[in-house]
Each structure stands twice: as C-alpha cells, then as structure tokens.
Amino acid sequence: MNPDDHPLEESAESRLSLFDFAFEHAPIGIAMVDVHGRIMRGNDAFSKLVGIARTNLRGTPFAAFTHPDDLEADLTLFKEVLAGRRDGYSIEKRYVRPNGSLVDVLIHVAAMRNAAGSVARFLSQIEDISLHKQHERELAEKAAQLELAMEAVRGGFWHMDVPSNTFETSDRLAEFIGGPEAARLDLRRYLEKVNPDDLSAADLEPLLQGTVDQSVAEYRLDTLAGEKWMRCDRRLLRDADGRPRRIVGVAIDFTEEHRRLEATRHHSETDQLTGLLNRRGLVNHFRQLPLSQGWSVAAVDLDGFKGVNDTYGHSAGDEVLVETARRLLRSVRETDLVCRRGGDEFLLVTAGRPEAGEGTAERVVDAMRAPIAIGEAVVEVRATVGVIWTDRKSDLEDLAAQADRLLYQAKMAGKDQWRAGRTQTVSRHPSD
C-alpha cells in the first residue's frame, strides 16, 4: 500500500515540508509572530505588504509598522488571546511602509498552542484590501454627497427587488410621508398614499416586465404636510442574463414647480379678459376629453354688440363680454368647454348625445335675452348659435366651420335663435 494513501500517518518532516511550501507560496501575506508581538518569519507576500525586506523582518514588532491609530485595538485582541479568552481574531487595520505610504489590510490571527495549552506563537494571514477600502471610501463619499443633495430637496428613495416582489422606501422618504417616527413603507402602503386619480402614472408594470429601462412619473402623494406633487425617476437594473433584477427610484417634491408650470400653461390657454379658454386652450382640452357618445360644437355670436361699442365705448363692450362669459358658463356643465375665439365670438363643446348640445344652445339663447347693466345704462345684447354634433372626434377647426355655417343660417333667419346639424361617421367594419 502506498504511504501517500494515509495522510494521517505522514511523518512530522513531511507535514513540515507541506506547511513550508504553503507558507512560502501563499498568494496572501503570512507571518509567524512570537508572544511578544515580534515577527519570527514572513513570506514574500507579507514582505511586500509591509515594505520590509525578508532579511530584516525577523525580530521586528508588528507595532513598528502598524498605524498608531489602529495599534490599540490590535494589541487588546492580541492580549486577550494570550490570556486564554480567545483563540484568534480578525481585524482591519493599516500598515505604514518605510516610505510613508499606507496599505489597508485584513488580518486573521490564530493562536498556536503547545501541549500544555499555552500560546507558543501566532500565525497571521494578511489580505491587502486597499482597493476594496478605496471603493468603500468613494461610495461613502458619494453617499454623503447624495445625502447632502437630498437634504436640499424634499422626498427620498425607494427600491424594489423584482424576483421577490419586495418594495421598500428609504427612511427619509418614509419620514417625508409620515413624520419622524414613520416606518418604511411597502408597496401597498405607499400606493395608498398616491392620489387614486394618479395610480396609472405610478404604475411600475413596464419596468417589471422589462419593456423599458427607465421612466419618469408625476403624481400626487399624501404626506405629513398635505398632498404634494412628486416627480419620480425610476430605473431598472438587470442581472447578467438581462432579466429585471431591481428597480430604484427617487421621488422629489416639485409642488411649487408644478404650480408655476400650471400657472404658465393656464395663462397661455386662457383669454385674459373673460377667463374663458382661448383657441389654444380649447384645442388642448378638446384632445383630453374622455370617450363619449359624441360631441357638440356650438358657435356663438352676439347680436347688437357693435352698437354697444359704438354707443358706450370699448370698456362697456368689455363689460358685456365678461357678463356673456358668466352666462355661458352657467349654461353648460362643469365638464363642458367654453372658449372665446376673439371679439364677440365664442365656441362651446358639449359631450354626449345631440340633445345635450341642442339643450346648451337653447339655454345660451335664453340666457342672453336678459338685459345687461352697464353702469347706469342697460343694454340689450342677444345671441345666435349654430351647433353641430358628431359621433367621433374629428378636426376641431372643421367642426367649428360647420357650426359657423349653421350660425349663418340662423342669422339669415332673423338672429336671436339657434340652428343644429349632425354629422355621423359611418363604420365600414363591425369592429369600428
């Protein structure tokens, strides 16, 4: 039988030879240290770590090349091993090389005891973790910078582990939502804080499915300080095979910015005299109207308005226009659209069956028959209306032109009345 088949029966000389080989050729630093903390022996990797030639290592105390700020913690553990309270320890510390450069190391120290159980020496394994510590410091620096940046804004971070479907907010975002003592929120509790009308904007499904890698959402969030508009940047992280792994997001309060944007948009879409929509505003709001059984577009023109301007001046004419706007708004539903096209011309959009638009036209004509007080004077201004109904959204300008033609017919018939027409799309396919 081959003696090599029985490692336990190897001679002491053979075991020592194997130890020496491993000691000398180990890819990490290895050092033998006596009970006084002096180097008895070190390999090449250890010599390079401390920057001391192997011929000069023997007898050098490890305190000589340990950073002063790290020495006390190392010595405390070293003494605990000597006292029998532990058999070894691991510690991170810094070596100071003769040229003054520093190297970060992770040391694993094991006691080598004699037959009586006393420590005879120590065996240390030393890893160079300088690169790791550098990355750690860089990450800490970036985290600190990010923390400072987040202190300047209101909001915070959240993340979602896709495989486990686990969502969690950061402490800062939880505090922003619920106050200093608030716990982190899971997805259900976070979505409960989102305005129900904005839940579609907060949807993460495209990211979860991996159809997009990043997106931006804007939604209203219930917070300790009331409802806030949040802008949320979301980004998908994938695994090595390209599968969705993690979604990270940052939600930032941009309520004031949103208000300014809304004010600017409102100003650009509003007639400054009457507060009604202008032509741009009408087009934009018409596009956003929800599905309906149809839409009526009514063209309104004032009868006798020129006489008011000629007799009482343009300021009086402006008062008539403002009062007309009030009466038009009272004649429609809150969801309908009222626009001043210019001068004394208006456009109204009413959703629903043709009868809804025709009812609006009739109410407008009736409303404008009441006299309008202009200072001490009272003026009579009437309205003529042409209204066209369609079962499908089409070009608003074309619908307005058709309403204008009906308006002209009503004027030719004597004014102070309304005319209605219908244009219906004929489906070519049953599925249309």
Residues with catalytic roles: 344
Collapsing DSSP to helix, strand or coil, 320 comes out as helix
What is the CB neighbour count within 10 angstroms for residue 285?
14
Environment class of residue 145 by beta-carbon count within 10 Å: exposed (0-12), middle (13-18) or buried (19+)? exposed
Largest interatomic CA distance in the chain: 130
Question: What is the Cα–Cα distance from 130 to 138, expressed in whole angstroms?
Answer: 12
Concatenate the DSSP letters of all residues of 360-402 into one string: HHHHHHHHTTS-EEETTEEE--EEEEEEEEESS---HHHHHHH
Residues in the chain: 432
Spell out the residues 6+ positions from residue 142 whose beta carbon is closer than 8 angstroms to its own.
none
Q: Tell the residue number behind the tokens 């008062």, with chain if given.
A: 319
Q: Which two tokens stand for residue 330?
A: 């009272």
Note whether 277 and 341 are within 8 A (CB): no
Spell out the residues 6+ positions from residue 296 whose beta carbon is closer than 8 angstroms to its own.
348, 349, 350, 351, 352, 354, 356, 357, 358, 360, 387, 388, 389, 390
Terminal CA-CA length for the chain: 90
List the alpha helices (DSSP H) in 197-312.
Answer: 205-209, 255-269, 279-288, 305-312
Collapsing DSSP to helix, strand or coil, 146 comes out as helix
Spell out the residues 6+ positions from residue 182 whose beta carbon is closer than 8 angstroms to its own.
174, 175
Spell out the residues 6+ positions from residue 52 whose beta carbon is closer than 8 angstroms to its own.
60, 65, 98
Which is nearest to 161 in space by CA: 141, 187, 136?
187
